[in-house]
Amino acid sequence: MDEIKENIDTCVDGLKDELINLSTFIHDNPELGNQEYKASALIADMLERYGFRVERGYLGLETAFKADYGKGDGVSVAIMAEYDALPGLGHGCGHNLICAAGVGAAIALKPVVDQFGGLVTVFGTPAEETNGAKVPMAAAGVFDPYDIAIMAHPSDKYCVYSSSLAMDAMQFEYLGRAAHAAAAPQEGINALDAVIQLFNSINALRQQTEDGSRIHGIITDGGKAPNIIPDHAEARFYVRATTRAKLDVLRERVINCAKGAEISTGATLKISNFEFSFDDMITNHHLAEACIENLKRLDIYDLSENDKNMGSTDMGNVSHRVPSMHMYFKIVEPGTPGHSIEMCNAAGSEKGMNAMLVAAKALAMTAADVMSDEELRQRIRDEFNKILK
């Protein structure tokens, strides 16, 4: 095993320039979710050059891809590559480093696949920040045949036991009746009032929710002119809770707030989801423990115990289908927020690139552990089966 890991180390070091070039180009050419044409093409091209069979436009998603190495006659490993940016902030979440780490890990695993058989797949998963592509992929069952699914995300710390909130993207639309707001207000049905009541009810509800719940929204349509009673108003909320089961309960309470506003104003309510729903992230502890050992091997000892991340990620949906790990690697000083200018700058810096190489090695070494150790695989699978029953 030592030799395998030394090979991984050497291989990623050999890929250093290419991975940094890839990551830097994507950093300097940020593309929003589902528009990552340049990034997905570049990553797919590189994997193809290294002998991966690439399916572009995977599952009908233009900027998604699936890149396979190996025959699938053994242990299979899925590695996630994200590459979408944020509006106005470029790579303020550092996804340019996620894809480079994933690509580096996958290429370094080729000799392991040659030795043990099996399959390494890089899934190019667009739009993590909005309509996460892992959601339809997970729903279609594409991850189900894999033994593990892994990825690495930049952060202000190294942390392997990550969690994230389950999230629903809820849209509330109210249909009222327009009327002159001064001459004939009694003829109108005020859709904006319904939205305002919805906000007030949710503000009251928020005090009685469980720790870790988050409800936050904006008004996306508040009427056209002050002298017209608004016949249409709309609000969008992200509703989050620590688990999918808790979110299903909270979601009903939010819907009741919306229904209350419907009854009191007479405006007709329409509820829909404006983006895919994310599940909470379940980290497989046996997988995480293997990764921690590998990080120590790479001289990373400063590990955070558990990341109580109050955000959400579509990796959560993957983790409900296959034993998963969403590790964080440190590129900024502790306390630096994600989605910030500081994070964006670090994602393009030398420090960021070096950490990305460490992450690539840790991912590959952990996958190599799983591919070569049947007992570890069984422990990982047993834990997964137990939690999701």
Contact residues for Zn ion, defined by CB under 5 A:
93
Residue 338 CB, shortest distance to Zn ion, in Å, is: 6
Q: Which is nearer to Zn ion, 93 or 107 (CB)?
A: 93
Residues 238, 274 contacting (CB under 8 angstroms): no
Distance separating alpha carbons of residues 92 and 337, to the nearest angstrom: 10
In the sheet where 158-159 sits, what is the strand order? 53-56, 65-70, 119-124, 76-81, 148-155, 324-330, 158-159, 303-304
**Cα-flanking dihedrals φ and ψ of residue 351, to 5°?**
-60, -45
Residue 298 makes CB contacts below 8 A (sequence gap 6+) with 358, 361, 362, 365
Residue 129 CB, shortest distance to Zn ion, in Å, is: 5
Q: Which is nearer to Zn ion, 81 or 229 (CB)?
A: 81
Q: Whose CA is closest to 234, among 245, 218, 256, 250? A: 218
Q: Which is nearer to Zn ion, 129 or 173 (CB)?
A: 129
Q: Which is nearer to Zn ion, 127 or 178 (CB)?
A: 127
Complete DSSP assignment for 210-262: PTT-EEEEEEEE--S-TTB--SEEEEEEEEEESSHHHHHHHHHHHHHHHHHHH
Residue 343 CB, shortest distance to Zn ion, in Å, is: 9
Q: Which is nearer to Zn ion, 44 or 93 (CB)?
A: 93
Here the tokens at position 142 are 């594409």
CA 323 to chain centre: 16
Residue 242 CB, shortest distance to Zn ion, in Å, is: 19
The beta strand positions in the chain, using DSSP E, are 53-56, 65-70, 76-81, 119-124, 148-155, 158-159, 162-163, 166-175, 214-221, 232-241, 268-273, 303-304, 307-308, 324-330
Point out the residue whose Cβ comes nearest to Zn ion: 93
Residue 300 makes CB contacts below 8 A (sequence gap 6+) with 158, 358, 362
Report the DSSP beta bridge partners of residue 168: 239
Q: Which is nearer to Zn ion, 130 or 284 (CB)?
A: 130
| Cα 34 to Cα 93, 125, 170, 278, 365, distances in angstroms | 16, 9, 20, 17, 31
Residue 80 CB, shortest distance to Zn ion, in Å, is: 11
Here the tokens at position 80 are 């996630």
Q: Which is nearer to Zn ion, 91 or 286 (CB)?
A: 91
Residue 145 CB, shortest distance to Zn ion, in Å, is: 26
Q: Which is nearer to Zn ion, 95 or 251 (CB)?
A: 95
Residue 222 CB, shortest distance to Zn ion, in Å, is: 28
Find the length of the chain: 389
Here the tokens at position 362 are 């840790």
Residue 99 CB, shortest distance to Zn ion, in Å, is: 11
Q: Which is nearer to Zn ion, 53 or 339 (CB)?
A: 339
Residue 186 CB, shortest distance to Zn ion, in Å, is: 48
